[in-house]
Every structure is written in structure tokens, then in C-alpha cells.
Amino acid sequence: MSLNLSTPAFEIIRNGGKCILCQVCVKQCANNVHSYDAEDETISSDDSKCVNCHRCVSLCPTRALIIKKYPLEFRENANWTGAAIKEIYKQAQTGGILLSSMGNPKSFPIYWDKMLINASQVTNPSIDPLREPMETKVMIGRKPDKLEFDAKGELVTKMPPQVELSVPIMFSAMSYGSISRNAHESLARAATELGICYNTGEGGLNKDFYKYGNNTIVQVASGRFGVHKEYLNIGAAIEIKIGQGAKPGIGGHLPGRKVGADVSATRMIPVGSDAISPAPHHDIYSIEDLRQLIFSLKEVTDYKKPVLVKIAAVHNTAAIASGIVRAGADAIVVDGFRGGTGAAPTRVRDNVGIPIELALAAIDQRLREEGIRNQVSLIIAGSIRNSADIVKAVALGADAVYIGSAAVIAMGCHMCHSCSTGKCNWGIATQEPELVKRLNPDIMHRRLVNLISAWSHEIKEMLGGMGINAIDSLRGNRLMLRGVDLNEKELEILGIKYAGE
Amino acid sequence: MKKIYAFESKCLGCGLCEVYCRTSHSKSKDVIKAHKQEDITSAIVIEEILQPGTVSYFAVQCRHCKSPKCIKACISGAMYKDEKGLVRNDKEKCVSCLSCVLVCPFGAIKESNDGKAISKCDLCIDYGTSLCVENCPNDAIKLLDEDDAEALK
């Protein structure tokens, strides 16, 4: 079929007055957008191949390049938008399902932006974190119903295993395979330096990274790639992945071309074979089955590692969470519908799941009502964009948050939504050696450390403003939040009052 | 003495070092003018190394050898070692015989585009800071003492 109705998404504008024909753009574009014509001594750019990742723009020494939205318009129509029409052209051309990367980009409400944080004025003093101690440390794990001490004041109660985090932030599960070795190394080194954790994702753990084990959460997902006794024991905690916010109910698929020798060894699958994670765990069809897996993992690790269970935020999340607590999990991870991914069916990414803010509030409320909130830590994920989102999440009841998109953005991701092509120009979501090289772990782990340090300072400032000197004292303290632009039902679910109340 | 070291494992072959080398050695010291109005030969050159299944890059520039062959070969006394140990070329004395180009074991000396002298790394001594080091987007080029560089290799 020679007829192709697709049109470029972006237009590349080159300022001839500034362009020095150095060809950095030509050499750096993995999509071959730019090409140099030696005969005419000109550089031309093919708009249709551009994904707007800004690699050329960022590296151009004279700032000669600008990338804009392609100006071609369809007749204005509020229902049949250009995006809707183009998707139909694409599917009529290929006959395939649409694939997208990163999180849900649609204009659903962002509840973080409809909640405002309190501060102390007159009647209670605020605290200056630069002058007074401020605690941001959290412990992830099951907490006993009560603590008992002997006559000498020594703790008698046997504490379940805990993971200590210096700040309530962790790097989300991103497997080695979906992201590059250098990206993985950057996350591991940053987590170790910061005293927090990163997550292996469903790709196993390369032996070279065992040295970061104390700051690693090892994941067990439906494909069970790279899972063995040593792997389970090397991490600080184990996470059973049931679902992912970007694609609830859907499994995963790492194409064979991304499974090179190193990824193959780590995942324990043949080189070049597709790594397919089934949608369900084939041994989990009930809460009782989940309990069996949780205790199998506890057994193999001698009950020394907390077991986390990760689910996507869906309609009955609160009831599901209650079941997970009763199944014996030490922490629940809930991933909202804006959570990122390397690849997901577009329709699933954009239409399945619920906002994390509502899921978090509902779960925390339900677990409290049932008197089992202390039995688990509650970790949320799914598009935490800044430190204020974290403060609001903690006030709604979260123990800690996972950041994935924010972490890759810190490493240079420009949210071009092209992870699935494997041609990430920033060396993050790729396995091609010359692209992986572009991500220097020495530079990128430093940027991750900087980001978390900056957020940590901001969290302390906001805590101090509220007159609180420990993040634990904010947890579930919903009186520190007020809503704006929310209806009665939303306020009820979030458990917060309207601004002015 | 600190020298410029390029690390193949980090080099992307983007060629920004060449751009900034030309800028540093231009009259204007301006990236656009240096390229549009002057014809300067970069003293650092990115070489492509084809490997099975991939390509890697390596930046070639003067090593400032302990006993430089280029100085021995120079017929006009233009090549000299300065008090810091930096191998330099005196453009006034250089007669462009290209003997140094012939004998350099690293291929680090190039004939100048203007044909009047040769082009080689001088660590941007006149500019003040080594521009290729400052502008490498992946920290693949570093200004290091010999011992530190050996440790990193």
C-alpha cells in the first residue's frame, strides 16, 4: 500500500545564520532525522522521523535548532481532533494495536494540584529546618500492634523486618532490559549514596550490581525473570508485582532485539528471545494464593526481608489492599494511572485505572477503619512530579513514594514517548551500545542525588512551615490539607476539608 | 603537568570537542564567527573505530610526550617544549615542512587548513581553559595528571 496518510508530528526549524554545519545533530540523531549533503554543503532534516527528544537541540553548540508542533491543521472539530484522526490513519495502515510509552497524558484531573498544604501562623510556631533538626527517615515494613519492654526498658517485642529510607522516596521498578545498563547503574549508585532504594523491575539483577544489594528492592513478577535464591536474598526487600499503573491487567513484552548477552544472562532466557510477562501470575488466582507466594518468599529469605506487593490503582483498590494485608504483605505499593512504562497499549494506558490520590486516600481510610493500617507500609507511585506531591501524599497516608518518570527525566529523558522504539537518544530506554554510552553513570547518578537532595530540603521546609519536625508526624494528617476546585464526593474520598473550612 | 585525556568508553563521537577546539583557536573566540568567517583546523580529531556490531569513537590529540619525536624531527626549531612540559609550535618559525606530522606516532599533528603551519593541541593555553574538556557532554575528555589518568583507564 503506497498511500500513506500520516503526517509529521513535529517541524524542525534550522536557523541558517547560526548553523555552522558541524554535524553534531547528524551524528547524534538515532532516528536519522538530519543528514549532511557534502556536495551542496547543507544539512537537511526529515520532519517525519522526528520524535522531539531534543537531543540535537540540547547538543547544538549554536542553538540553531528549534522543534515545533507541525503546523498542519485539520478542520477544527472538538470531537474529531487531529490526534483522533491520525490514530485511525495509523491503525488503518498497520492493522495493529497502538503502542505508547510513559504515563497517561490525557487531561484527567490532577488532584495533587487541587490540594493545598497548611502552614503555622501565630498560634503555633513554624520550625526553621536550617536551625533545628528535622527527621525525614522512614521505616518500611510491618509494625507490631504494640511494643513490650522488660524491666530494664529493653524491647521485648520481636520487630518484623524493616527497610530504612533516609527520605520517603524510592526509584520505581524499571528493569534492566527496558532501561540500559548505565541507567540502571546510575539509579543503583544514587540510591546507595542517598540511603534509599531502587527497584530492579522484572529483569533480574546483574551480578555486577550485587554490591548495591542493601539499597535494592528485588522484584518478582509474572514472568519470574532472573528470580533465584541468591537474587531474593541479595536485596533489602522483595516486591511481588501484580500490576502496573500504566497498564493494569496487562503483562509485559521485552522484544528479543533488546535481549543481548548481558540482559539474557541476567534474565536467564536465551539471547534474542522475547521476554513475555503474562498478564496474571499463573500461580495467583486468589488472596490465598498470594499468601502462599508471600510466605514462599519469606521462607527462602529466612523471614529477614519485608515483602512488598505492588498493584495498579483500580476500582476496588481499597478492598484489594485489605486482602493483601491479610495475605501477609509487609508493604503495599499502589501505582496510579499516570505511572510510566516503556510500552503499553495506548487505549489501556489512557483509559484503564484510577487517579493515585483517590486510591491512596481510599486505601488508607479502609485500612484504618479495619484496624490493620499498622500492619503494612503504604507506598504510592504514578507520577510524583515534585516534593509538594510527596508532602501531600504523606498527609493522605503514604509512608513513601516511588518515582520513575521523575528519575528518568533527571537523567535526561525529554518525555518524547518513544521508549518502545529502543532508539532512546538519551541512552536510557535502549540497549544499543553506542546509545547506552550517552548516559554516563558518573554524571547521571550525581544528577539523581541532586534531585533527591533538593526535594529533601523542600520537604523539610514544608514540614517546618507546618510546625512539624518529623515526616512520621505528618503521615495521614489530612487536616494539613485543604481542597480547591473539588466536589463534595471528591472531598469525601480524599478525606479533606474545602479551603476556608 | 596536566594533559588532556580522552576516554573511548565515554566518547559519543558527537564532535563538539572539534567545534570548541576551532573556537578556542579562532581570532573571534565566537563559535559562529569561528566557523563562518575563519578556516581553522581542529587539534583534536574524533576517529571512528569500527567494531563488530557497533562503532566506537576515540578522540586523538597531542600526548605531550616525554621525548617528543616531533621536536627531534623539526627542521626549523619551531617545535619546542615549554617550561611546563607542554609541546608547542612556534608559528613564526614553522616552515610547514610537515616532518612533525610524519613522525608523530599518534597522528596527533595535522597540517593547518591555511597551509602556513601545523595544528596541534596546546591545552588552549592562550584561551585560559581547555574548551574541549569544558564542553564535552559526556565527560569523555578530561584534564588530568598522568597518575590520575592511569587510574581511570
Q: What is the DSSP string of B92-152?
A: TT-----HHHHH-TT---EE-TTSSSEE---TTTTTSS-HHHHH-TTS-EEEE-HHHHHHH
Which among B7, B16, B144 is the top mutation candidate for probing chain A, defined by the most A β-carbons within 10 Å of its own β-carbon? B16
Cα(B152)–Cα(B139) distance, integer angstroms: 12
Q: A231, A230, A249, A104: which is closest to A175 by C-alpha?
A: A231
Q: Which residues pair with A117 in a beta bridge?
A: A481
Q: Considering only alpha carbons, which residue of chain A is nearest residue B39? A: A20
Which residue bears the cell 524491647?
A155
**CATH code for the domain of B129:** 3.30.70.20
Residue A156's CB is within 10 A of a number of other CB atoms, namely: 8
Grid cell, residue A240, equals: 511481588
Cα(A2)–Cα(A217) distance, integer angstroms: 49
Q: Which residues pair with A254 in a beta bridge?
A: A275
List CB contacts (< 8 A) between A61 and chain B: 16, 19-20, 31, 135
Q: B66 in a domain, yes or no?
A: no
| CA angle, A31 then A14 then B24, to 5° | 95
| CA angle, A156 then A161 then A164, to 5° | 110
Query: Residue B153 above 80 pLDDT?
Result: no
Which among B9, B19, B28, B58 is the top mutation candidate for probing chain A, defined by the most A β-carbons within 10 Å of its own β-carbon? B19
Q: Report the helix count and the strand count for chain A, using DSSP H and E.
A: 15, 21
DSSP A345: E
Cα(A93)–Cα(A2) distance, integer angstroms: 10
A15 touches B at CB < 8 Å: no
- ipTM score above 0.85: yes
List CB contacts (< 8 A) between B9 and chain A: 437
At B88-140, the pLDDT tens digits run: 999 899 999 999 999 999 989 988 888 888 889 999 988 889 999 999 999 99
A57 touches B at CB < 8 Å: no
Q: B115 in a domain, yes or no?
A: no
Tell me what the mean pLDDT of segment B10-19 comes to: 93
For A205, phi and psi rounded to 5 degrees?
A: -130, 120
Count CA atoms closer than 13 A to A360's CA, side-chain side: 34
Whether B64 and B3 have beta carbons less than 8 Å apart is answered as: yes
Contacts of A332 (CB under 8 A, 6+ apart): A308, A309, A310, A311, A321, A324, A325, A363, A376, A377, A378, A379
Q: B71 in a domain, yes or no?
A: no
Q: A103, A190, A216: which is closest to A454 by C-alpha?
A: A190
Burial group, residue B25, by CB count within 10 angstroms (0-12, 13-18, 19+):
buried
Q: B112 in a domain, yes or no?
A: no
Name the residue facing A22 among B19, B53, B56 (closest C-beta).
B19
Q: In which region does residue A272 sit, left (phi positive, over 0), alpha (psi from -120 to 50) or beta (all else)?
A: left
Listed in sequence order, the DSSP H helices in A341-412 are 346-351, 356-369, 387-396, 405-410
Cα(A399)–Cα(A367) distance, integer angstroms: 13
What's the domain range around B31? 3-61+121-152
Cα(A412)–Cα(A448) distance, integer angstroms: 10
Q: Which residues pair with B54 in a beta bridge?
A: B51
A59/B137 touch (CB, cutoff 8 Å), yes or no: yes
Residue B68's CB is within 10 A of a number of other CB atoms, namely: 20
List CB contacts (< 8 A) between A27 and chain B: 12-15
H/E element, A11: strand A10-14
H/E element, A263: helix A261-267
> What per-residue confidence (pLDDT) applies to A1?
59
Cα(A160)–Cα(A175) distance, integer angstroms: 28
DSSP A381: E
Q: B139 in a domain, yes or no?
A: yes
Which residue bears the cell 537523567?
A411
Q: How far apart are the first and last CA of chain A?
A: 63
DSSP A27: H
Q: Considering only alpha carbons, which residue of chain A is nearest residue B22? A: A22
Cα(A177)–Cα(A202) distance, integer angstroms: 9
Q: B113 in a domain, yes or no?
A: no
Q: B130 in a domain, yes or no?
A: yes
H/E element, A15: none
Count CA atoms closer than 13 A to A391's CA, side-chain side: 28
List CB contacts (< 8 A) between A24 and chain B: 14-16, 19
Whether A404 and A410 have beta carbons less than 8 Å apart is answered as: no
* pLDDT profile of chain A (501 residues), mean per 10: 88 97 96 96 96 97 97 96 95 94 93 97 94 96 95 95 98 95 97 98 94 97 95 98 95 89 93 92 95 98 98 97 98 96 94 97 98 97 96 98 97 94 95 94 97 98 97 97 98 98 93
Contacts of A188 (CB under 8 A, 6+ apart): A198, A209, A212, A215, A216
Q: In which region does residue A275 sit, left (phi positive, over 0), alpha (psi from -120 to 50) or beta (all else)?
A: beta
Cα(A78)–Cα(A76) distance, integer angstroms: 7
B35/A18 touch (CB, cutoff 8 Å), yes or no: no
Cα(A445)–Cα(B121) distance, integer angstroms: 31
List CB contacts (< 8 A) between A59 and chain B: 14, 16, 137
pLDDT band at B35 (very low <50, low <70, confident <90, very high): very high
Q: Considering only alpha carbons, which residue of chain A is nearest residue B49? A: A434
Whether A471 and A462 have beta carbons less than 8 Å apart is answered as: no
> What per-residue confidence (pLDDT) applies to A402?
98
Overall domain count for chain B:
1
Contacts of A23 (CB under 8 A, 6+ apart): A34, A36, A43, B15
Residue A149's CB is within 10 A of a number of other CB atoms, namely: 10
Cα(A344)–Cα(A251) distance, integer angstroms: 9
Whether A171 and A187 have beta carbons less than 8 Å apart is answered as: yes
Q: A1, A12, A9, A10: which is closest to A87 by C-alpha?
A: A9
Q: Which pTM value belongs to this model?
A: 0.94
**Maximum CA pair distance of chain A?**
90
Whether B23 and B34 have beta carbons less than 8 Å apart is answered as: yes
Name the residue facing B54 among A27, A28, A434 (closest C-beta).
A434
Q: B141 in a domain, yes or no?
A: yes
Burial group, residue A77, by CB count within 10 angstroms (0-12, 13-18, 19+):
exposed
Whether A196 and A447 have beta carbons less than 8 Å apart is answered as: no
Q: Which domains does chain A possess? A: 10-96 (3.30.70.20), 138-472 (3.20.20.70)
